[in-house]
Each structure stands twice: as structure tokens, then as C-alpha cells.
Amino acid sequence: MKFRLFTAIAVAAMAITSCSEDTATIGSSVTNKTDLLEYSTGLYQATSRSILADSVYSDNSNCYFGMVKDPETLSYVKSDFMTQFNMIEGFELPTQDKMLSKIDGEVVADSCEISLFVKYSKSYGDTLAAMKMRVSELDSPIDDKYTHYSNFDLKSNGYLRDKGLQINRMFSIRDLTLSDANLQHIQTNISKQGTSTDSGYYDRIRVPMNVPYTAKNGTTYNNYGTYVLRTYYEHPEYFRNSYWFVHNVCPGFYFEITDGLGVMANILEINIQMYYTFQADTTQAISAVYLSSTPEVMQTTHVVNDRPTLQKLVDDNNCTYLKSPAGIFTEVTLPVDEISQTHANDSLLSVSINFERLNNGAQGSEVHLATPTNILMVQKDSLYSFFENKTMYDYTTSFMGTLSTNVYAFSNIGNLITQMARQKAEGLKSDANWEAKHPDWNKVVLVPIATTTKTSYDSYGYSSTTISGIHNQMGLSSTKLVGGTNSPIEVKVVYAKFKN
């Protein structure tokens, strides 16, 4: 009875936003005479500050490529990435006797190229900006989780193959060498990308690979595609799954911006395409092998920020900041002791805190970075392990807030306050210096995040979409929040207890 009653009162208490002295009749309005509750409210203050993000955990859900000038700080942000490749499911080539693409009796690829497909709605900058990239072959696969962080430099850590395949390429997001019809198809499809009417026309960055390639065993092929095709026939066991393929055929490639400014592209999909001609039943046919960057293989991002410039924002005590990628987080110190000790004999019904957004002041620019749509509140001690373990927010120790009417609202973090108070009490029982050894015990961090969703259908064909994963936001985003040492943030609490 009492558990159900407390639940009902908790729902009602969510609507209370300030203290009230006239509570004599509220308990009787929702309970019977044998279980009268009395409740009270309290206002407390949390403090916040900006902290510089050392790095963030990156995975294959968010890939950005480019270099831009941040209109807010006038500093530069560069994003490079590494990706591995996998074969499509059911990968199979024609038998060698049916392959018509041959030189001196050996199978070859007619041509080979890499395609990077761009998601327009999540990209930033000028699609016609002239950029230059370098594509470099990896020497070995990336397996260690520490190599997945945004500050890990593959080049300086020896992951690029010495004298391996390296291609330099000028590009722009919008390829004006395409036919007028194709350019029109791409432009028309921009508003439809990712919807049920998506026609499949995307901006694509093409990197031809039709240059001689020398494998580690010293064998030289006319192009990289020929190396893959011949390896298939010589060692079909290397193609049984992504692990064998990555460790025996293609460890991956590193894509690096070497010149240019003005675009940060969201890369939706990356393929290596190898074309060949074969004998079909009655005619000759041209086909292609597609190696794709799929969720089964790894993709990481390397972010270069101007840290001294970001530090100037961190030092601003009149507000706090959220900036991505790998820029600035907001740290919040919660008044756990005050909340739990002021009403030591009462139960927490709800604890709410809101973070109000301030308008950014871009310096003389009409171009603004996107505002983070979703942010994560997570205990500071768990900040890195949360993303490494691909954890979902649980409304106990982690919470997601969505921007609405210029506010990120966290309507009830009571479970977190209770757990923090319990951890401290248990710690002090065995160690009088526990609090000094755990200085972050009452701190949380606000982090810009991106989400992935999953759509399911019931037996009637109706669809529902749920969040299936969250990741560090690797795209460009920025906002200011009310806070800082000069502006404490209100924490609103509702307590309840049974009358004696």
C-alpha cells in the first residue's frame, strides 16, 4: 500500500516548482485517513564550471571529415578518421575460369576506387570548398580500446604502413564534374535523405586507387583491387568473417585532411569498389566487389582542437560551455549533503534541475554552430567507462536531457542523489578519509551526445522508434549554459513522510 502511495505522490509532486507553506490539506486529498502523508519542498544550489575535454571515445557510429574555423572562437577544428572494411554478407566471386578480367592468365580488377558518401543534413560548411586529403594504408589493425580516443594519433604511434599505399586527392563535397542530371538528382534528394522517399542520390567523394600496389610479401599488383581479388582465390579462408579479413587482408585506411578549409562532412558510408568482367550464362557482364565500413568493424576519429583558445572559454566564470567534438563539457557539483541531511528522516520524491541555454556570441559571423539536441548527465567517475562499455542511460546514475524551450531539463535525479549519499555513508564507515580520496563523489558531467535509433513494427504494421545507443557527439556543436561560479543553479526537491 505505502509503495503504491509514494509512487502516486511522486507523480503529483513533479508539478511542484516552489516551496509552499500551505500543505495541510494536500495529503488528505490523495490518501485515505490511515495513510496520511505530509510533504515539504526545498530549494538548494548546485555549482557548475566548464572543463576542457581531454578526449572522447569515438566509435563507428559517428564519422566526420574536414577542417573548419569555429565562428565562436575563430580557432580551427580538424577531424580525420580511420576505418576498417568488411565484405558484404554472402560474399562470393565467380570461379576463376569464368573471370575474363585477366593479365597473363592472372585475375585482375579492371578498376578500383574508394567512395565516401556524405550525409548533407549533418554536415557543415561550403560543399564547394576545395580540400585535399591523404589516404594511407594501415600496417596493422586497431584493437586496443585506448586507440579509439579522439586524441590518439595513428601516424605518431606507428600504425601507418611504411611504404604502404598512399594516395593524395583534391576534392569538394559537391562534385561538379558530374552530369547536370546527377547534380539535380542529388540536390532534389537532400531534403529526403534518411526518409522513406530517399532516392539514394548522395554527394560522394571519390578516391581512385588505380595505381600499382605492393603487398607486404613484396608482390606488386596493378591496383589494390587486384590484390584483394587474387588473395580471395589464394586464401578463401581469409574472407570467412571480418576478423580474418582485417587481420590478413586489409587492416584499414586512414583518411587525413592535408590542406583546405571550410567544410566538415558527415560520412554516412564508405566503400571500396573493385570492378571486374566475367562470363555470365550467355553474355559477358561487369560486376563489382564492395568492401564496406559496417558496424562489425572499427572506425575511429582523430580530432585536433585549438586547446589554448578553448581554455579561454573554460576560464569564463559567468557561464559554462558545451562544445563538440572533444571540446568542452560542463561539470556540476550537486548539493547531495544538503539534500539528504536537511530532511534525514524524509523520503525523496523528486529532485529536479534545469540548465538554461544562453545565446552564443559568434564574433562578427552570421554562421553559427548547431546547438546540441541531446546531452548526457553522467557521474564524473564514470565518464569514460560509460562510453567505452556502450552503456545506455538508466535514470539512476545517468540521464538524457533534450533541448526544449531553450532548456535542458532533468526532471527527477532523486535516484542519483540517494545513491551518491549512500556511497559516501558506506565509504566513511570503512575509511575516515574516503571523501578526500573521492573528490568527485558528488559531481556529474554534461556531455553533448548523438543517438542511434531502432524502428520496430507490430503485427498491424505500425512502427515505433526507440533509442538504441548513445555516443559522443563528433559533429560540430556549441552552446552556453547559465551557470559558472557567479551563477548557482537551483535544485528543487520534494520530500514526503508519513504522519506519526
- Kindly report which listed range (8-22, 54-68, 291-305, 390-404) carries the lowest average pLDDT score: 8-22
| Residue 477 is assigned to a structural domain of this protein | yes
Quote the CA–CA distance of 15 and 458 in Å, as a whole number.
Answer: 34
Establish if 466 belongs to a structural domain: yes
Neighbours of 37 (CB within 10 A): 21
Residue 20, pLDDT score: 39
Determine the pLDDT at residue 338.
95
Q: Are 373 and 402 in contact (CB under 8 A)?
A: yes
Residue appearing with cell numbers 594519433: 153
Does residue 237 have a pLDDT over 50? yes
366 pLDDT exceeds 90? Answer: no
* pLDDT confidence of residue 30: 47
pLDDT of residue 169: 97
On the question of pLDDT at 178 being above 70, the answer is yes
Residues 134, 230: one domain? yes
Q: Are residues 89 and 231 in the same domain?
A: yes
- pLDDT tens-digit series, residues 204-224: 999 999 999 999 999 999 999
What per-residue confidence (pLDDT) applies to 32?
A: 54
Q: Where are the beta strands (DSSP E) in 362-488?
A: 374-379, 398-404, 407-410, 443-457, 463-472, 477-481
Is residue 420 situated within a structural domain?
A: yes
Task: Give Cβ neighbours of residue 36 (< 8 Å, ≥ 6 apart).
Answer: 27, 28, 498, 499
Contact residues for 223 (Cβ-Cβ < 8 A; gap 6+): 108, 109, 111, 112, 209, 210, 211, 212, 213
Helix (H, G, I), strand (E, B) or coil at 331: strand
- Give CA–CA dist 327/51, Å, rounded: 9
Distance CA 53, CA 62 (A): 18
pLDDT band, residue 147 (cuts 50/70/90): confident
β-partners of residue 168 are 134
> How many domains does the chain divide into?
3
* CB contact set of 77 (below 8 Å; sequence gap of 6+): 67, 68, 69, 70, 264, 303, 304, 305, 306, 325, 476
Mean pLDDT in residue range 370-382: 96
Looking at the structure, do residues 370 and 432 belong to the same domain, yes or no? yes
Mark whether 120 and 170 lie in a shared domain. Answer: yes
Say whether both 150 and 211 belong to one domain: yes
**pLDDT higher than threshold 50 for residue 18:** no
State the pLDDT confidence band at 4, using cuts at 50, 70 and 90. very low
Domain co-membership, 36 together with 111: no
298 vs 352, more confident? 352
Do 271 and 311 lie in one domain? The reply is no
342 pLDDT band (50/70/90 cuts)? confident
Q: Are residues 253 and 387 both part of a single domain? A: no
**Residue 434 and residue 317 in one domain:** yes
Name the pLDDT band for 91 (thresholds 50, 70, 90): confident
Cα separation of 289 and 267, whole Å? 20
pLDDT on residue 281:
81
pLDDT at 26: 40
What's the pLDDT score for residue 361? Answer: 55
Mean pLDDT of the residues in the chain: 88
- Confidence band of 497 (pLDDT split at 50, 70, 90): confident
Side-chain-side CA neighbours of 428 within 13 Å: the count stands at: 9
What are the CA-CA distances from residue 232 to residues 48, 226, 229, 305 (Å)?
57, 10, 5, 41
Q: Please give the average per-residue pLDDT across 248-269, as a whole number.
A: 96
Per-residue pLDDT tens digits for 326-340? 999 999 999 999 999
Does the residue 455 lie in any domain?
A: yes
Quickly state the pLDDT bin for 9 (edges 50, 70, 90): very low
Do 218 and 125 reside in the same domain of the chain? yes
- Across the range 333-355, mean pLDDT stands at 92
* Domain span at 7: 1-41
Is residue 66 included in any domain, yes or no?
Answer: no
- pLDDT over 60 at 302, yes or no: yes
Q: Are residues 289 and 398 in the same domain?
A: no
Query: SS3 for 481?
Result: strand
Q: Report if residue 60 sits inside a domain.
A: no
Mean pLDDT of 480-500: 91
Q: 372 and 290, same structural domain?
A: no
pLDDT attached to residue 10? 47
In the prediction, which pLDDT does 78 show? Answer: 97
Residue 169 inside a domain? The answer is yes
